[in-house]
Amino acid sequence: MFFKNLDREYVDSLLKASLIGIHLVATTFVGLAVGYYLDKWLGTEPWLLLTFLLLGIAAGFRNMFQEVQKIHRRFGSGQHKSQNHDKQDRSKS
């Protein structure tokens, strides 16, 4: 299989990163749909549509920020450690 030689954690992080865009679009459409149907039901056009659209966009950015933080906590600190080991190896030689 193509992904057989890749590190499991690396593939996991790629999958999580690919979900960032999906989260943003999905939450925006959910907010849009909820606002649209509430406006139709209550006759408050376009106020609830705009309100829930903005809430959906905000929720999407919040989800995106949380996913990026998880990825950064998992791999951000690991990169710094490997860079420090490289610097120590160079100073020894």
| Tally of domains in the chain | 1
Q: Please write the tens of the pLDDT for every residue from 42-53.
A: 999 999 999 999
Residue 63: what pLDDT?
A: 92
The CA distance from 28 to 60, in Å, is: 7
The reply to whether 32 falls in a domain is: yes
**pLDDT number for residue 65:** 92
| Domain assignment present for 47 | yes
Residue 80 is given by DSSP the state H
Mean pLDDT of the chain: 82
Residue 54 lies inside a defined structural domain of this protein: yes
Domain of 43 in residue numbering reads as 27-68
Judge whether 11 lies within some domain. Answer: no
The residues near 25 (Cβ < 8 Å, ≥ 6 apart) are 60
Say if residue 3's pLDDT is above 70. no
